[in-house]
Copies of this chain bind each other. A is one copy, B any other.
Amino acid sequence: MTLDEAWRILQGRQFKRTKNRETILEFFSENDRYLTAMEVRNFMIEDNPGISFDTIYRNLTTFSELGILEETELNGERHFRMQCDHGVHHHHFICTACGKTRNIPHCPMESVSVNLQGYEVEGHKFEIYGKCPVCVEQ
């Protein structure tokens, strides 16, 4: 997702264009990996030393709900990254050291043979964890 696409979504829903939102989106568009609220804060604090976690979490949640960011949970912490390939369903290999991901186009839901009649499926998660080639060397 590009910055322009993100702003188009936000302005289509009457969200205002603020400096904080610009900084957050800039950070994600320049860092193509899963990031924590703390990492976002450490970046923002240079421009805005008084930045509040309330602001960060509120915006991250908003962006996630609007499909601008995607979200996952790694060792008890929320992680966010810019939505990639918007619209096309996929999964990720996630590096547990740096947060970088690699797309996995195959979705296991297509080949699940279990009969889930009577069940109401709300979602699914398929992630592979490990170290990317760069972090293997460290």
A122 neighbours in B (Cβ, 8 Å) = 96, 129-131
Report A49-94 residues with CB < 8 Å from chain B CB: 73, 76, 78, 93
Chain A residues within 8 Å of chain B by Cβ, number: 34
1/0 per residue, CB under 8 A from B, across A107-132: the answer is: 01101111010111111111111111
21 A-B pairs with CB atoms under 8 Å apart are A73-B73, A76-B76, A76-B78, A93-B116, A93-B119, A102-B119, A104-B114, A106-B108, A106-B111, A106-B112, A111-B111, A112-B128, A118-B136, A119-B131, A119-B136, A122-B129, A123-B130, A124-B128, A125-B126, A125-B127, A126-B126
